[in-house]
Structure 1
Amino acid sequence: MILVTGASGQLGRLVIASLLEKTAASNIIAAVRNPEKVADLAEKGVQVRQADYTDQDALVAAMQGVEKVLLVSSSEVGQRAAQHANVINAAKHAGVSLIAYTSILRADSSPLILAEEHVATEALLAESGVPHVLLRNGWYSENYTMGVAGALEHGVVGCAEEGKLSTAARADYAEAAAVVLLKDQQAGKVYELAGDSAFTLSEYAAAISKASGKDVAYHNVPEAEFTKILVGVGLPEGFAAILANSEVGASKGGLFDDSKTLSTLIGRPTTSIEDSIKAAL
Structure 2
Amino acid sequence: MIVVTGATGQLGRLVIEQLLEKIPAAQIVAAVRSPEKASDLKALGVQVRQADYNQPATLDSALAGAEKVLLVSSSEVGQRTAQHRAVIDAAQRAGVKLLAYTSLLRADSTPLALGTEHHQTEAYLRSSGVPFVVLRNGWYTENYASAIDSALQLGTLYGAAGEGRISSASRADYAAAAVAVLLAANDQTGKVYELAGDSSYTLAEFAAKAAELAGQPLPYVNLSPADYQAALLKAGLPLIYADLLSDSDNGAAQGGLFEEGKQLSQLIGRPTTAWQQTLADGLL
**TM-score above 0.5:** yes
Paired residue type of 2:2: I
Q: What is the CA distance between 1:242 and its match in structure 2?
A: 2.0
Residue of structure 2 in register with 1:216 after alignment? 218
Residue of structure 2 in register with 1:43 after alignment? 43
Residue of structure 1 in register with 2:264 after alignment? 262
Q: What is the CA distance between 1:24 and its match in structure 2?
A: 1.0
Q: How far apart, in 2, do the equivalents of 1:215 and 1:179 lie? A: 40
SS of equivalent residue, structure 2 residue 108: helix
Structure 1 residues 25-64: aligned runs within 5 Å: 25-64=25-64
Paired residue type of 1:4: V
Q: How far apart, in 2, do the equivalents of 1:85 and 1:201 lie? A: 35
Q: How far apart, in 1, do the equivalents of 2:108 and 2:33 lie? A: 30
Residue of structure 2 in register with 1:176 after alignment? 177
Paired residue type of 2:147: G
Range 232-241 or range 266-275, more displaced: 232-241
Q: What is the CA distance between 1:235 and its match in structure 2?
A: 2.0
Pair 1:232-2:234 in alignment = yes
Q: What is the CA distance between 1:233 and its match in structure 2?
A: 2.6
Q: How far apart, in 2, do the equivalents of 1:207 and 1:185 lie? A: 41
Paired residue type of 1:172: D
Paired residue type of 1:158: G
Q: How far apart, in 2, do the equivalents of 1:239 and 1:151 lie? A: 17
Structure 1 residues 89-238: aligned runs within 5 Å: 89-154=89-154, 155-183=156-184, 184-238=186-240
Q: What is the CA distance between 1:224 and its match in structure 2?
A: 0.8
Q: How far apart, in 2, do the equivalents of 1:87 and 1:233 lie? A: 36
Residue of structure 1 in register with 2:11 after alignment? 11
Q: How far apart, in 2, do the equivalents of 1:264 and 1:36 lie? A: 37
Q: How far apart, in 2, do the equivalents of 1:61 and 1:36 lie? A: 17
SS of equivalent residue, structure 2 residue 133: strand
Paired residue type of 1:123: A
Q: How far apart, in 2, do the equivalents of 1:270 and 1:231 lie? A: 34
Q: Where do 5+ consecutive residues of structure 2 fail to align?
A: none
Q: What is the CA distance between 1:232 and its match in structure 2?
A: 2.3
Pair 1:250-2:252 in alignment = yes
Paired residue type of 1:238: I
Q: Could you give the per-residue CA deviations for residues 49-75 of structure 1, whole angstroms, max 9, x where no partner exists?
A: 111001111101111110000000000
The structure 1 residue matched to 2:243, chosen from 238, 241, 244, is 241
Residue of structure 2 in register with 1:79 after alignment? 79
Structure 1 stretches of at least 4 aligned residues deviating more than 3 Å after TM superposition = none
Q: How far apart, in 2, do the equivalents of 1:257 and 1:246 lie? A: 15
Range 161-170 or range 53-62, more displaced: 53-62
Residue of structure 1 in register with 2:277 after alignment? 275
Range 240-249 or range 111-120, more displaced: 240-249
Q: How far apart, in 2, do the equivalents of 1:108 and 1:202 lie? A: 28
Q: What is the CA distance between 1:234 and its match in structure 2?
A: 2.7
Aligned-residue sequence identity (percent) comes to 57
Q: How far apart, in 1, do the equivalents of 2:66 and 2:214 lie? A: 47
Paired residue type of 2:106: R
Q: What is the CA distance between 1:76 and its match in structure 2?
A: 0.2
SS of equivalent residue, structure 1 residue 22: coil
Q: How far apart, in 2, do the equivalents of 1:78 and 1:232 lie? A: 23
Q: How far apart, in 2, do the equivalents of 1:24 and 1:82 lie? A: 33
Normalising by structure 1, we get a TM-score of 0.98
Q: How far apart, in 2, do the equivalents of 1:109 and 1:57 lie? A: 34
Range 232-241 or range 22-31, more displaced: 232-241
Q: What is the CA distance between 1:207 and its match in structure 2?
A: 0.6
Range 105-114 or range 148-157, more displaced: 148-157
Q: What is the CA distance between 1:153 and its match in structure 2?
A: 2.2
Q: How far apart, in 2, do the equivalents of 1:78 and 1:131 lie? A: 25
SS of equivalent residue, structure 1 residue 130: coil
Q: How far apart, in 2, do the equivalents of 1:46 and 1:3 lie? A: 10
Range 181-190 or range 132-141, more displaced: 181-190
**How large is the Cα RMSD of the aligned pairs?**
0.8
